[in-house]
Amino acid sequence: MAAQSVPPDSAVLVALDFGVIDIEATIAEACELVATAGAAVRAVVRGRREKPDAALFAGSGKVDEIAEAIANCDAKWVVFNHALSPIQIRNLERALETRVVDRTDLILDIFAQRARSHEGKLQVELARLEHHMTRLVRGWTHLERQRGGIGVRGGPGETQLEIDRRLVADRIRLTKARIAKVARQRQTQRGARRRSGVHTVAIVGYTNAGKSTLFNRLTRADTYVADQLFATLDTTTRRVWLGAGAEVTLSDTVGFIRDLPHALVAAFRATLEETASADLLLHVVDASSPRRDGEIEDVNAVLAEIGADLVPQLLVFNKIDLLSQAEASVTMDQCGKINELRISAVTGHGLDALRAAILSRLPATLPHAAQGIIPRPDARDLSGATS
């Protein structure tokens, strides 16, 4: 089950509108996900439905439309921008005679391509194995045995089902044990930091919101920044110096996305514990995104899933340089506590206010006279990640 990347083939994207979210922004994001996975969307099949069809997800007329789109652009696979059941995938592949990939497969595959550190790779492996387990159902066609392109699939046919289940279960146990070992090291590091009285600030947010750009600005680090989804998978933590003599550690971590697969959230739990145990979260939002309110909700949903919903948050609207109203500003709640800021991590607008806001929101043990966060000349990389 080595990590395999999506072949650079053409794909047909299927995006059905169930009337809940901004469908156009969702389609644009799905196209980016497909591109990030290394392929290209040649046609988009849209539709409106009350609820998914139990057998095929889409209606049979829509499936005919998808078949036509496949023939027109010689697509090698069909991407559904939805989570499908194993039965739906099986039925669709039978009907379309083409590989069918759902949103979960796509995100897992991108994570597999991106994982760099030992811990990151183990976590992605676990997520893929867990997902693979749910896909081991009876009645797969010859397509399952032939393929091996995307993600976790490529497993043997149904005659192998029981053996396959046992093998996957063994791999899951082994991977979990290895992750637990790395997590223990991480916990020890975190414990040492806590005992030293250093406060922790974690940057969270939707993928591509500008978290790593902000992290680099505040720490003068050179974490990988790219205009692509899930550029960062590993948590990087750095100690930054507060002017008055106190220090905080700042962490940059994996970005979130709508419908982040549960298997991934579970597998990344150890990494995300850094977030749940932080004293303050900088929730970075791409202020120029047409879906920014939805993205805030998506991030808050994942935070709740990892038990970080009660950690105090500063909402940081980033990329204001892309807006017509590009002034940096600060918003306070009824108690006079800063809870929102508008900044640009690229131009540096609003960063002094952000430093002051971080300081004002940290627990009282820190001296409040500090002027801002200034990286120490010897700022060390404190991430537990080993590459």
Residues that bind ligand GTP in the complex, under the rule CB under 6 A:
205, 207-213, 225-227, 229-232, 255, 318-319, 321-322, 344-346
Applying CB under 5 A, which part among 73-81, 223-231, 310-318, 348-356 lies near Mg ion? 223-231
Helices (H), the chain: 23-36, 60-73, 86-96, 103-114, 118-135, 142-146, 161-195, 211-219, 262-267, 269-276, 292-305, 351-361
Which does residue 210 touch among Mg ion, ligand GTP, none (CB within 5 to 8 A, set by kind)? ligand GTP
- Minimum distance, C-beta of residue 211 to Mg ion, in the bound complex (Å): 5
341-367 burial, b for 16+ CB within 10 Å, e for fewer?
bbbbbbeebbbebbbbbbbebbeeebe
Q: Report the distance separating Cα 27 and Cα 82, nearest Å.
A: 11
Which does residue 207 touch among ligand GTP, Mg ion, none (CB within 5 to 8 A, set by kind)? ligand GTP
Measured from the CB atom, is 98 or 117 closer to Mg ion? 117
Measured from the CB atom, is 282 or 359 closer to ligand GTP? 282
What is the CA angle 100-26-56, rounded to 5?
30
- Minimum distance, C-beta of residue 347 to ligand GTP, in the bound complex (Å): 7
Site string for Mg ion, 309-348 (x = CB under 5 A): ----------------------------------------
Measured from the CB atom, is 175 or 318 closer to ligand GTP? 318
* Cβ-proximal residues to 252 (8 Å cutoff; 6+ apart), any chain: 203, 211, 212, 215, 223, 232, 235, 236, 237
Strands 99-101 and 77-80: parallel
By beta carbon distance, the residue nearest Mg ion is 232
Q: How far is CA 216 from the centre of its chain?
A: 19
Single residue of 231, 263, 280, 282 touching Mg ion by CB under 5 A: 231
Which does residue 319 touch among ligand GTP, Mg ion, none (CB within 5 to 8 A, set by kind)? ligand GTP
Applying CB under 5 A, which part among 90-98, 174-182, 231-239, 323-331 lies near Mg ion? 231-239
Strands 313-318 and 338-342: parallel
- Minimum distance, C-beta of residue 231 to Mg ion, in the bound complex (Å): 5
Single residue of 81, 88, 91, 212 touching Mg ion by CB under 5 A: 212
Return the bridge partners of 285, or none. 317
The radius of gyration of the chain from alpha carbons, rounded to an integer in Å, stands at: 22
Return the bridge partners of 78, or none. 12, 100
Q: Which two tokens stand for residue 15?
A: 């995006």
Measured from the CB atom, is 150 or 231 closer to Mg ion? 231
Number of other residues whose CB lies within 10 A of the CB of residue 11:
28
Applying CB under 5 A, which part among 22-30, 135-143, 204-212, 372-380 lies near Mg ion? 204-212
- Minimum distance, C-beta of residue 204 to ligand GTP, in the bound complex (Å): 9
Single residue of 98, 232, 251, 344 touching Mg ion by CB under 5 A: 232
Which does residue 229 touch among Mg ion, ligand GTP, none (CB within 5 to 8 A, set by kind)? ligand GTP
The residues of the shown chain that bind Mg ion, judged by CB under 5 A, are 211-212, 231-232
